[in-house]
Structure 1
């Protein structure tokens, strides 16, 4: 098993608010790369099927209010 070492430039401040979050995000951004965009292909209609919802889930959703409580 590899011995992983982590270093931080500054400790995370859980009560730091938005400014702290923005700072943490800016420090992480260079370490993350976006994947190459994959070209999407059209799906033939024969591959499109309906959505099936289990009866218990359908009853749960039916019992919920439209806009929350």
Structure 2
């Protein structure tokens, strides 16, 4: 039985990359992935919220939970 350990040079599968190579690829691509500035969500008046229905079983489940979860 052989105890041969495959090194990067002996791996022929092109999909095998190291974490360092992946991080380098991401660093080179990151300028192309610029995030847009976040805009704050404006509060909505409760009178404008309509059409939301909650099944009775879900409402009972939520009603029995404590304020911050169990």
Normalising by structure 2, we get a TM-score of 0.41
Normalising by structure 1, we get a TM-score of 0.41
Larger Rg: 2
Relative contact order higher in (CA < 8 Å, ≥ 6 apart): 1
